Structure 1
């Protein structure tokens, strides 16, 4: 069973971040977005315990940005309402990419993750996750299309989750392992835990509630998935017992797959994902129900994995990246986990699969929806705010 460590954030004063990222009159509507040249610094250089950095606006005026991807010289950004936008030559283009399938933009659903194929330069495939309309509701789906700079063509649907529920907990992140396999997270769709917790849909292998699935890059199911051939189990499933995993990333140094997932009130988790394992929701965990009532039968149980790290109170984890660039040598190999309610990034030092330290950076600038390791060595962040502040794509550059 995996070990866990409580969150021990080294939260630092962030008074230096009082300078706004954008004029107060900026709107959160894509139609008002003119973009901003990359490299124009908007904030002073705050200090962290490990490195000085400054916050630079890449683009603003987006409507609920959800995912960031680097494709050729373009930066693609998904907007939850259903548009795929392009940042090119430092400007947010007014026209969205055509060819994106219909989404149900309700609750937590919409157009969510965007990831290029590892061989994008030769095949031009771009992958999207979205809330696919299904009857009166929606479910998590994965599509791909060939990107030509203005449109997605040859769009095809690769995966549709067998899950249903309210308009939340879609999961919806994609990660490629570099060996031809694609991993996709699906949330538990807000299925309420009650009575026999082991009967919760996230503990049932016959559906896709609260799972991470593993597929070939064309959507086929690999023959060596852990539940292939097991009666009553869906063969796509790689791991199960998750609540709402809104981040997936491979650790380059080890090849390990990591995920962060939302807990209820408390108990957000940082998990190393292994095939066939049960990550415990809702039987075990470190949170409580909204209002304070207990949910879990405990914090550990035989046959169920405990997180390597957890947050109490919750930071509402979303977005995860391992830093591989050369702009911040001090951060090489660190994990960066975004926080929505926490309005922060948690910088985690991971050594031999164990979190040895945590530091809070980028605090108080807005809800962090996504974090990506840019090809230019900078760290890119999607700020999806609901407090009247501009929604932006920003990046962290060395403060000196």
Structure 2
């Protein structure tokens, strides 16, 4: 299987034809904890920007859980906050470098005017190499819209990570009651939504969410019946075990295949050394269940008694995008790597996708996770990005509204705030485009029954847009 590497903002030839320029070196040179003579700005770009954005936009207009004074930042950078996914850098930087980096970040906090917003969209018209589209605003005022589902009457169901579900019709958001209790902390909350294949008959939908248990939480899925604007008859059909104290890497995309099996992605919850390679837990895996929550008899992994489990693959880090190819029926997946090494994979039963035995990324603090990018018995990605674009929702372009893009794969980028378009030739990614540049953190992308592409964007007041081609 051919693989590619995508280097932002440049591309590197590695198994498929992409592009290249000299900026590759700055993303591949840092592979150990040693730091020598770097400026605070360089250290920020090399070690912090993959999570917090190249322009420190995450440090503006945000709540600081652990404080934003110099001493607070020095402590956080030095010691980290493991449960929040923040690594410790005290072995990476000197004390002076940590203080200089903290001061540099404070400049970003206190000086919004120093940011360059000239590259922000000036209109709702966006041109690409092959197609021009305009954005129709379908919904606004949403707090981190995470997942979308489309109803036959033309209305739209949208989840908010904070724990609310809305029905959107005529640009009006109506809250749906009866949502299960969620732990809306860190990367968790109310996440994906899909409709039962026979939704028109039974009105059943599925929600994935971070389910709390005391101080712990896990990825869970419930199905419920939609009656008017209320969910009733809730039943939990999936629960990832064990629960964990961390608040990140929940994964949590869902999709039904043509045989009405429900696929669920679950992240490894930040415990890469124990979870993704162990078949005794649910974390760092893709799962397959029946619509009622029971386990298909032909699932590839069995428990100690020989009974099938929900596990379908292992060795996955934090998968936040899955979509079935409209022609082949294959399940394509996008998952977050560490610092570098975000992946596109084709998911097949019983396969191991390597994390953390193999990876094209390194730790957030610059240390090496593994020196192996391939290994026997490990599935290699079709493509990996350096540095990480933070891939989210994923969809294939179908229908005739976007003929130049038809058959391509769309992937939302949280970090770089654009919609990534991958042109395909079978399993080969032949080229890429960045669409809707700087529109905001693209959390989800879907092909709707009306034949149009919809994107859910966290920024710009939390909005859902429909892409309409312009002649």
8 Å CA contact 1:9–1:358 kept in 2: the answer is no
Which one of the candidate residues 222, 233, 237 is aligned to 2:296? 222
**How far is the alpha carbon of 1:177 from its aligned partner?**
0.3
- In 2, Cα distance between equivalents of 1:221 and 1:394: 37
- In 1, Cα distance between equivalents of 2:355 and 2:2: 16
Say whether residues 1:153 and 2:232 are aligned partners: yes
Residue correspondence of structure 1 range 112-127 to structure 2 within 5 A: 112-127=191-206
Deviates more, 1:153-162 or 1:351-360: 351-360
**How far is the alpha carbon of 1:214 from its aligned partner?**
0.5
3-state DSSP of counterpart to 2:5: coil
**How far is the alpha carbon of 1:135 from its aligned partner?**
2.4
8 Å CA contact 1:241–1:281 kept in 2: the answer is yes
Which one of the candidate residues 320, 333, 355 is aligned to 1:246? 320
Residue correspondence of structure 1 range 128-277 to structure 2 within 5 A: 128-165=207-244, 166-193=246-273, 200-228=274-302, 235-277=309-351
- Shift of the 231–269 alpha-carbon distance from structure 1 to 2, 3 Å rule, reads farther
3-state DSSP of counterpart to 1:270: strand
Alignment-derived partner of residue 197 in structure 1: none
Alignment-derived partner of residue 84 in structure 1: 165
- In 2, Cα distance between equivalents of 1:290 and 1:8: 17
Residue correspondence of structure 1 range 294-313 to structure 2 within 5 A: 294-313=368-387
Q: Deviation per CA, 1:110-146: give whole Å up to 9, x if none.
A: 1000111122111111110000112211100010111
- In 2, Cα distance between equivalents of 1:123 and 1:228: 32
Alignment-derived partner of residue 382 in structure 1: 456
3-state DSSP of counterpart to 2:354: coil
8 Å CA contact 2:8–2:386 kept in 1: the answer is no
Gaps of 5+ in 1: 12-26, 29-41, 194-199
Alignment-derived partner of residue 65 in structure 1: 145
8 Å CA contact 1:240–1:279 kept in 2: the answer is yes
- Shift of the 232–298 alpha-carbon distance from structure 1 to 2, 3 Å rule, reads farther
Q: Deviation per CA, 1:21-74: give whole Å up to 9, x if none.
A: xxxxxx99xxxxxxxxxxxxx934221112111122111111111101102222
- In 1, Cα distance between equivalents of 2:445 and 2:362: 27
8 Å CA contact 1:164–1:189 kept in 2: the answer is no
Gaps of 5+ in 2: 11-60, 63-121
- In 1, Cα distance between equivalents of 2:291 and 2:433: 35
- Shift of the 44–60 alpha-carbon distance from structure 1 to 2, 3 Å rule, reads closer
**How far is the alpha carbon of 1:232 from its aligned partner?**
8.7
- Shift of the 3–135 alpha-carbon distance from structure 1 to 2, 3 Å rule, reads farther
3-state DSSP of counterpart to 1:201: coil
- In 1, Cα distance between equivalents of 2:391 and 2:370: 20
**How far is the alpha carbon of 1:105 from its aligned partner?**
0.6
Alignment-derived partner of residue 72 in structure 2: none
Query: Radius of gyration: which is bigger?
Result: 2
- In 2, Cα distance between equivalents of 1:6 and 1:123: 44
Say whether residues 1:397 and 2:449 are aligned partners: no
Residue correspondence of structure 1 range 275-290 to structure 2 within 5 A: 275-290=349-364
**Greater percentage in helix:** 2
**How far is the alpha carbon of 1:233 from its aligned partner?**
8.8
Deviates more, 1:43-52 or 1:309-318: 43-52
3-state DSSP of counterpart to 1:330: helix
- Shift of the 97–113 alpha-carbon distance from structure 1 to 2, 3 Å rule, reads same
Q: Deviation per CA, 1:143-175: give whole Å up to 9, x if none.
A: 011113311111111010013330110000101
- In 2, Cα distance between equivalents of 1:44 and 1:349: 24
8 Å CA contact 1:57–1:394 kept in 2: the answer is yes
- In 1, Cα distance between equivalents of 2:312 and 2:228: 34
8 Å CA contact 2:300–2:308 kept in 1: the answer is no
**In angstroms, what is the RMSD of aligned CA positions?**
2.0
8 Å CA contact 1:114–1:127 kept in 2: the answer is yes
3-state DSSP of counterpart to 1:238: strand
